[in-house]
Amino acid sequence: MFATITRGFAVLSLVGLAACASITDKLSGTPDPIGEFRHGYNIVVAVDPQKGPFSREASNEEWVAVVKQAVGDRLGRYEGGAYYHTAVAVQGYVLAQPGIPIVASPKSILIFNVTFYEDSTQTKLNEEPIQITVFEPADAGTIFGSGYTKSREEQMAGLAYNAARAIERLIRENGDWFGGQRVMLDDDPTILSGADLLEVVAEGQSGQ
């Protein structure tokens, strides 16, 4: 898996340039329910995630804190009648840094796995962890690489914010796991599934 991630970082940094639409939302109010979903344990781990090329440093503890906060803020709004737990494992990242020519400047990227658990039965809802790759939510400060316009902490917060969005989208798309209905959502250029990641890597290799 990590070999694939390593090969993909360079390609992903270029693909991120296409994510130029501003994608933000508000966390105020109660969202539309997803079946009986109510967030239970908010588990986040980061065991020396792989750092991609041209990246600033971030500690395991920093990743755990920022992702845990973002996931809790977003999923904690749901008030369904049954508890479901999330377990997130940070796998790899790029925090774009300044001082690199703009044409080579990478986009900030976070790669993580997520597993869902049903509290009442203490069982996994997805037998294998689901891998997701996110870029920062696109804005004027990310078009040419956020290393020039944002601090390391701002980049991490943006990636964690989008990771939480990606997890929420995954819950909606698999609503039947949580006693609801599946919902088909429009593609989001700042969020890639594991399958999409492999396609991007393959396309990059074939284009060399």
Q: Kindly list the domain boundaries of the chain, sorted by start residue.
A: 2-206
Give the residue with greater pLDDT, 160 vs 55.
160
Predicted pLDDT at 205: 31
pLDDT tens digits, 143-164: 455 655 689 999 999 999 999 9
**pLDDT recorded at residue 208:** 36
Highest mean pLDDT among 3-12, 145-154, 182-191 belongs to 182-191
Of 13-22, 34-43, 147-156, which range is least confident? 13-22
Q: What is the pLDDT of residue 104?
A: 52
Q: What percent of the chain has pLDDT over 90?
A: 60
CA distance 94 to 136: 10
The structure's pTM equals 0.80
Q: What is the mean pLDDT of residues 62-67?
A: 98
- Quick one: average pLDDT of 169-188? 96
Band of pLDDT at residue 57, cut at 50, 70 and 90: very high
